[in-house]
Amino acid sequence: MRALGWLVSALLLASFPAMAAPDAAATPSAKASGLRYPGAKRLDLVEDHFGVKVADPYRWLEGDLRTDPAVQAWVGQENALTRRVIDALPGRAILKQRMQALFAHGRYTLPRKAAGRYFYGYNSGLQNQTPLFVREGLAGPQRLLIDPNQWAKDGSAALAEWAPSPDGRHLLYSVQEAGSDWRTLRVLDVDGGKLLPDAVNWVKFSQLAWDGRGEGFFYSRFAAPGEGQDFQSATVGQQVYYHRLGTAQGEDQLIYATPDRPKLSHTAQVTADGRWLVISSFQGTDTRRELHVAQLTGGRMKVRTLVNGISNDWRLIGSRGPMLYLVTDQGAPRLRVVSIDARYPRSGAKPVVAERGDTLAGGTLVGSRLILAYMADGATVAELVELNGRKVAEVPLPGVGTAAGFAGRDGDPETFFSFSGFTTPASIYRFDTAALRYQLFARPDTPFDPDDFGVEEVSYPSKDGTMIPMTVIRRKSLALSGTSAPTILYGYGGFNLTLTPGYSAMRLAWLEQGGVYAIAHLRGGGEYGRAWHDAGRRANKQNVFDDFIAAGEYLKAKGYTTRDGLAIEGRSNGGLLVGAVVNQRPDLFAAALPAVGVMDMLRFDRFTAGRYWIDDYGSPDREEDFRLLYSYSPYHNIAEGKDYPAILVTTGDTDDRVVPAHSFKYAAALQAADIGPRPRLIRIDSKAGHGSGKPIDKLIDEYADSYAFLAEFTGLKIRDAPR
């Protein structure tokens, strides 16, 4: 345990007004650490859940941060304390400077082609938001279309989703404010660069789908929330609309809705030839959908059922005439490809490509063939397949890593994909499906040598004996010498999400300083198909925590990290993971970063998108699920009397995916508990949401703070010159 004497004199908050009784702020653990946490008043609130008395003393912190003075005061005091601690940390400024340097290189997004025009994003390096450009032809000069850095001085307004019209004349795009999931849709005239008067509000969780003629587009929206409920109210009653260019939103045509099933969400997609509208309906985060289809003839649309019942995954990957090609897990836990005739859906799905040992991640129809991407031990392998299912060839990739993109259309063999690894930023490649050749489109310059770092794939036994894969990244010199070093262990373990190879400038700054970074591929993820996901959700959620704990034990036993040098990090569902395992094994970790986490497992479904997560977590309103959720809920299971690691909770004040009340209540409970001398702090970012759209400068500040905190409590010495 590391001494905290250096903190004491600088961090006493006697000048801060208390929000509770005078002795509430000075808990035994606060006195022991030399910190004086802001007092959080405790409500005498106890509820009965299936015969269990459950206290919720900090429910008042669920109040709206924008309007509740008590919540505002608490947030201000907590941020002031955290800033005093973080700003005193040695190495924080060095990490920030290095992260800025690692970001200071040009990078492109995948180009999208429309009628000979190529649209793509390009960031020169440290621009808070990425501008959008267009080229006339692949070799033409680039022209700036949209610079979202001009929208807000603090960079908090972002260009989110965008789509060019099929004729390339217009660009439909969405504006994201302060990291919120809400979107406003606008349309730009590409030739003149002028904004059209069209504006569509209250769009959330929507695809952007132009009709085949470029006269309008389909989108998904919810009803406008009640006053003051923008960032908290549950999202129900999503509907699909059609907007014709040049009209007001009030004239938009309702295309599809299910008022008798308000928990269903609906997204719209149009086939590349513009002939068919496909509507996908789902209720939660499980990949289970029903599909409806309408022929787009320019006249009245008649929506018909394509796939009835929400029991399997169905994803459109291309079309030729009336034949739709889809990826499905019907009878294939690792997925397969089928075709359905949109004219005669009752004829059912016809097999095209059978299931195989690797999990099928997705596919597209490009030129005259399908490109199918599979996950093989966490990396991408791709192949070209004829529409009759015959394999043509492997898609040549630059190495072992993650390939993404491959968008295209029937009849045009050109596509683009990005390729990245754990220590190599994404490069963009152009691929010709007819010639089977790829060429470099854009590669970022990087201020480091990727060959200095090594990536090891290992596996270890979890508590029940299941072998869990893990990626370990460190300097090759560390591996050769067998030297232990401070280590960050990262995990997620949920919602069928696969942790694939990808570059992070923040992670590289840690590695350059001599730290180790490990990524555990936990059950609950999507690495090995449906069975792997099912093994880590609902009644099996404890497996995820056991897998993560076993990863930490393995890293120590094998000498990757030191006895007091293991930190853990997770975001969103991964924040829940960190909170749960800290409660279960506080002795194993020196420091923890639970970011934007789901911390109150008894009330998560009452806010914004929380109702979707019942598929993975279960429902607090069902007794069987309640007892499981209550057993690991981070907010409800803080272990009094045990020494906890140093904890830095992070969230954003406009996070309307996992509302910040989760982190507020959890941090207040940590600070009130007798759990040892190491600090328990919370960092609340302003005008920031769950993660997407966050300005680069805010992102760098967050990670410089977070990794300096981890360095201090794991013993990593930050030096001016990376080792």
User: Which tens digits make up the pLDDT trace of 54-97?
Assistant: 999 999 999 988 899 999 999 999 999 999 999 999 899 999 99
Spatial distance between the Cα atoms of 701 and 99, rounded to a whole number of angstroms:
9
User: Which tens digits make up the pLDDT trace of 427-436?
Assistant: 999 999 999 9
Quickly list DSSP for 597-666.
Answer: ----TTTGGGSGGGGGGHHHH--TTSHHHHHHHHHH-GGG---TTSPPPEEEEEEETT--SS-THHHHHH
Q: State the pLDDT at residue 300.
A: 86
The full set of domain ranges for the chain reads 5-100+448-714, 108-270
Q: State the pLDDT at residue 299.
A: 83
147, pLDDT greater than 90:
yes
Q: Does domain 108-270 have CATH number 3.30.1130.10?
A: no
Spatial distance between the Cα atoms of 463 and 490, rounded to a whole number of angstroms:
18
19, pLDDT greater than 70:
no
More confident residue, 227 or 659: 659
Q: State the pLDDT at residue 30.
A: 43
Spatial distance between the Cα atoms of 402 and 149, rounded to a whole number of angstroms:
29
- Return the percentage of the chain with pLDDT > 70, whole number: 95
> Are 357 and 531 spatial neighbours (Cβ–Cβ below 8 Å)?
no
Place of tokens 């020196």: 590
Q: State the pLDDT at residue 552.
A: 98
Q: State the pLDDT at residue 22.
A: 28
Q: Which of 394-398, 542-546, 647-651, 704-708 has the lowest mean pLDDT?
A: 394-398
Q: State the pLDDT at residue 39.
A: 85
Q: State the pLDDT at residue 155.
A: 93
pLDDT classification of 33: cutoffs 50, 70, 90: low
Residue type, 607: F
Alpha helix ranges (H) inside 516-606: 529-534, 541-557, 573-584
Spatial distance between the Cα atoms of 10 and 7, rounded to a whole number of angstroms:
6
31, pLDDT greater than 60:
no
> Are 568 and 589 spatial neighbours (Cβ–Cβ below 8 Å)?
yes
Q: What is the mean pLDDT of residues 138-152?
A: 96
Spatial distance between the Cα atoms of 445 and 425, rounded to a whole number of angstroms:
9
Spatial distance between the Cα atoms of 371 and 392, rounded to a whole number of angstroms:
10
- 681: tokens are 């702090």
6, pLDDT greater than 70:
no
CATH class of the domain comprising 5-100+448-714: alpha beta
Active site residues: 572, 690
- For the chain, give the mean pLDDT: 92
1, pLDDT greater than 50:
no
Residue type, 609: A
17, pLDDT greater than 50:
no
Q: State the pLDDT at residue 292.
A: 98
Q: What is the mean pLDDT of residues 611-621?
A: 96
Q: Which of 118-122, 153-157, 297-301, 420-424 has the lowest mean pLDDT?
A: 297-301
Q: Which of 222-231, 552-561, 587-596 has the lowest mean pLDDT?
A: 222-231
Query: Are the folds of 5-100+448-714 and 108-270 the same?
Result: no
Place of tokens 């749960």: 580
Q: State the pLDDT at residue 723.
A: 67
Q: State the pLDDT at residue 265.
A: 95
Q: State the pLDDT at residue 117.
A: 97
User: Which tens digits make up the pLDDT trace of 373-421?
Assistant: 999 888 899 999 999 999 999 999 999 999 999 999 999 999 999 999 9
569, pLDDT greater than 60:
yes
- 380: tokens are 């991408």
